[in-house]
Structure 1
Amino acid sequence: MADRVWTVIEALDWTRVHLAKHGDPAPRRAAEWLLSAATGLSRVQLYAHHDRPLTPEERATFRDSIERRVAGEPLQHITGEVGFRHLVLRVGPGVFIPRPETEVLVDVVLRHLGVHGGEALVADLCAGSGAVALSIAHECEGARVWAVEADPAAAALAAENADRLGLADAVTVLTGDLFAPLPADLRGRLDAVVANPPYIPTADLADLPAEVRDREPRAALDGGADGLDTARRIMDGAREWLTPGGVLAMELDESRVADADKLMRAWYEGVVSEQDLAQRPRVVAGHAPAKRADPHIRGGRQP
């Protein structure tokens, strides 16, 4: 971008072409997001004020963000935020970026909680920036959610999001491994356990787009040899924490949903698979038996 006065529309048009030349999969959207972040205007306002000149400070910020995008940095890391369902969340480098396909995971849990009504107790494992936990708390009145995240940086960001969105009273963020940090008095009382665990098979990580492979935390991606290492631990552990009839819902790689469905049927009832917005298998869910099985008996079956 030359050092002259640029209007909003000129900046958008130039950036769209520039990003397209460098292989951006959605150059128009990227240009809008970056300029919106640089100017403080919404994406709609950019077009309403298309002839507004950029200030020197805005132009410098915008130029820097374009360079970062061309270098492969995710849009959400550059702008510092991402939209998820009805919320806008803070995100940053080193923390997994919430994806639109995860929204169906929230839908599955909300349907279950809507049937039971009243104050719901929910644990969100592998919570990341808090997208799922905060959405459940925001959309299910009276829900009490414990968001568990192993990475301290991600947990701190989830707590920041909860505070900024006014949901800190409904969502408690805990740092630790899966069920370990949960208060002991929740054992056998949770209405739902929800998780978006790492689910990419280790051998497939190298084939991911560079923007994901090189910029997202590996711990949030690597699901072990078959992509189900963490999912198995969650299936096993949730039996001790769910109330009879409580739901376990997990997002998984589309190639692993069928296998996870079979595994879950050994321990849970009413197991179903759900598709995401692109009609791909994405979520597997099941209910804790009405008669609790002994979690210490392999397979959860009573003798």
Structure 2
Amino acid sequence: MFKLPENKPQIPKDTPRNYFIYGETMSGKSYLANEFPNPLVLNTDGNAEANSVPSIQLVNEKNEQGRITNSVIKQLGEILLALQTQKHSYETVVIDVIDDVIEMIKIAVCDELTPAGKPRLKSLSEIPYGKGYDFFNQAITELVIDLKALPMNVIYISRQVSEYDDNGNATKDKPSLKDKYVNLINGNSDLMIHVEKLGNNYNREVDRKRKTYYADQVDDKAILKILATIRGAVEPAKGNAQRKDEVAKTGRKAKEVAAKETTSDDELF
């Protein structure tokens, strides 16, 4: 028989699970990602075996003729299916870096849609009727949606570029991805985090966030400990903040009442 929940207040459970981290080379992007519990890194820099955590190297495998025999699209599909269906102890999946993954997907689409016996197409625009762009956008969108559907923490890592003014001064740091891909990935992420190295120190700061997260609502204490190292990621316990507001309001009302009573007493004389 269906059982209704008890009619009583409860503290919401609200832990962010999807992250977009960007920064310059050697700024601590991968280090932050590896702090998350039990990570599996999908690596694109050809250095998977040098990682201190389990990693899978992503690459478009080619034959002697330079045609792709095992695309990164197929590899990602197999990895995500395994994470969904196989028994494992991983809690976090890291895409390091998403910039390279998107470029590899583009190359794989061009290769797949090249007519047999023809030199491989170099650009999606060479594929008639917009078919190349359709395949490409579908592959990226499906990747992001499937990652978000995993019962795991998902971390996208991106490189950084700077915008400059007319005098050559850097005015803004941003992910090196094109804005439309940033919007797609960030739209499916809870926190966008900028990391940078300042001298011998590393700085972590939230750039954008889906909502405000409160310490007493983050039910995963391992994640809460990491969020505490990121400026702007988590606010103090909401209950405490509400109680402080109530106390402050009560104090103000008491002062107002006292002031009115004093005024009334003065009017009697």
Give TM-score, length-normalised by structure 2: 0.30
Higher RCO (Cα < 8 Å, 6 or more apart): 2
Give TM-score, length-normalised by structure 1: 0.27
- Structure with max Cα Rg: 2
